[in-house]
Every structure is written in C-alpha cells, then in structure tokens.
Amino acid sequence: MKDSDRPAVLFIGLSWEERCFLGLKVDHKYYNRTTKVVLLYNEHSSDRDAANRDKIIQYCKKRNIIVQEILLKYNDSIFNWKTIEKAIFGIREELGRAVLDITTLPRELAWTLLYNIGKYTPSVQYIYHSPAKYTDEWVCKEPGAPRLLFRHSGISELNKPTALIILTGFDEIRTKKLVEYYEPKFLALGIQTGSKYSNNVRNSLSKHLDVVKGEVEHTHFSIDAYSKEHGLGQLNRIIKQLRGYNIVACSHGPKLTLVSLYRSHQSNPQMALCYVPSRLYNINYSDGIGETFRGVIEF
C-alpha cells in the first residue's frame, strides 16, 4: 500500500489561534485519508479555545472523521504522561500513519506524544504551520518552574558539572529562570538566525546575556530552525563539545527546534530534555497562517 493510500491519524493541540483550525484544513487536504483527529486540550481551556474546538468537531463530522478528545491538566506532567500513554495504547493498531501537527502543541506534550507513538510505529510524520505574523507585543510571560521530561531526564554523573543548552526565543526571562534554577557551570545559547518575525531584535544574543549578567561562563551558536534538519547539525556539534558535562537542553525558539532537539536526544540519551511552561499567553499571540513545514521522525 502506498503511503498516500494509508489512513492517517492526526494529532492536534487545541488553541485559540487562527492557525489551529486553518492548519487542520491544510492537514486534511494533504493527508486526505485522515480517519481520526486526536484533539488534546487542558482543563483550563477558555471560551476562546472552545470556538476552534467547535469548528474542528463540525469540520470532522461533515467529513466522517472521528474526533477523539484527550483532556489534560495544566502543570501536571505525570497525569498528562499517563493519560497520553493510555490513549496511545488504545489506538496502537491505528498508528500505521501517525501525523503530529506540532503547530499549537506545547513542546512537552509534543515530546510525550513522540515517545509514546514511537513504541508502536517506526516513524511519525510531523507538520508545522508558521503564523502569518506574531503580535508586536509580548507573546508569553511569567514562566513557571523548569521541569525535566519524563523518561528523557538524561544520565547525571556525580563528578561532572552541569552545562545548559538553551535554544532561545522571544522571552529572555525564561533564560534567566533556567540559569537560576540549574546554576550551570557552562551555558550555550542557540540563537535563531535571520530577521524573520523580527527575530534579530526580539531574540538577540544581548537580551539573553543581559539577564544572565555574566554569572556563568558561556558561548553561543547560530541555529536555523527553518532549514531542512532544523539546526540539528549545529546542535550536535555543541553537544559533542560538552562531553565533559551533564547536559540539560531546552527549546524556546521556533517550534521546529523541538524536532531537532528530540532527534539529538535520540542519539544522545545522556542529555536531559527540559521544559519551562508559561503562565500567560497573549490573546493576540499570532495572526493567520504562513508557511508549512513537514518531515519525518524515525524511531
């Protein structure tokens, strides 16, 4: 059977953003044999999320696509892991063609899905819809406590110091939070290249170094999340240089860096994956839908 002929199960994270529903329509056009949409959302989903939820359910109903909803809890990683693990086990026979739309999925949930889907299928197709634009205001703020991803917390050796790798984003306070929490001996900042979405201003090296205030030895490297491998080569070179450290790595930059970081962890399981949630997101976070990126992660 050709890949295009196989039924697809599509995973989506519910959000109020326009690209949540617009992305579903693009996904269905590309994966036209979608038989099920697995919709993940948390108990604190608001009325603004509900509008997109209704659109998704109605869209799927008209096309005889089953919608399976997974209700999760904000800030309860263990509950969410167990809930997702159980849900994936229940549909394991349907995962011959699993498609993960990471557009509006929190990174922690995307990584949790990748691990659990990977137990039953040799690969997963991922898709990401960039926005037409981000708000000119803040996008997120008030970061919570950093936490390691379950089953991806690395191997810590007592005689090694800690190195922290941060693929930076628009919120430099997340950088500050991570450095204060882990007190690393060494810090490596991965800065997205280019001026897309005013990245060169909003995610500049100086903004992140200013909040660190010279408290830790550091280096920086450029990374291109929109390249074919989403910066995997640059990331792996840095990891190779940090073999003498216990490494903790976090993705805050363009969403596609969650893919390169996960791929890197596959070949560097001694590295820990970390997530820093935000308590507040701007209601005007993004507008519209822009370029679409697709790829495959093999297990």
Do 275 and 145 belong to one domain?
yes
How sure is the predictor about 213, in pLDDT bands with cuts at 50, 70 and 90? confident
Q: Which residues contact 31 (CB under 8 A, 6 or more apart)?
A: 8, 10, 97, 99
Range of the domain at 85: 3-134+285-298
Do 29 and 121 belong to one domain?
yes
Do 87 and 54 belong to one domain?
yes
Do 275 and 164 belong to one domain?
yes
What the block records as the tokens of 250 is 């976090």
Partner residues linked to 133 by β-bridges: 287
Do 77 and 200 belong to one domain?
no
Mean pLDDT in residue range 15-34: 96
Do 230 and 261 belong to one domain?
yes
What would the pLDDT profile of 97-114 be if each residue is shown by its tens digit? 999 999 999 999 999 999
Strand residues in the chain grouped as ranges (E): 8-13, 34-42, 66-72, 98-101, 123-129, 133-134, 140-143, 147-148, 162-167, 186-192, 217-223, 246-251, 272-275, 278-281, 286-287, 292-298
Task: Please tell me the total count of domains within the chain.
Answer: 2
Do 94 and 77 belong to one domain?
yes
Q: What percent of the chain has pLDDT over 90?
A: 91
Tell the residue number behind the tokens 């999340």, with chain if given.
225
Do 69 and 157 belong to one domain?
no
Give me the pLDDT at residue 212, please: 87
Q: What are the C-alpha distances in Å from 92 to residues 67, 86, 204, 221, 227?
A: 16, 10, 43, 39, 32
Do 103 and 168 belong to one domain?
no
Q: Supply the CATH number for residue 174's domain.
A: 3.40.50
What would the pLDDT profile of 28-41 be if each residue is shown by its tens digit? 999 999 999 999 99
Q: What percent of the chain has pLDDT over 70?
A: 98
What would the pLDDT profile of 232-289 be if each residue is shown by its tens digit? 999 999 999 999 999 999 999 999 999 999 999 999 999 999 999 998 889 999 999 9
* Phi, psi dihedral angles at 275 (to 5 degrees): -135, 140
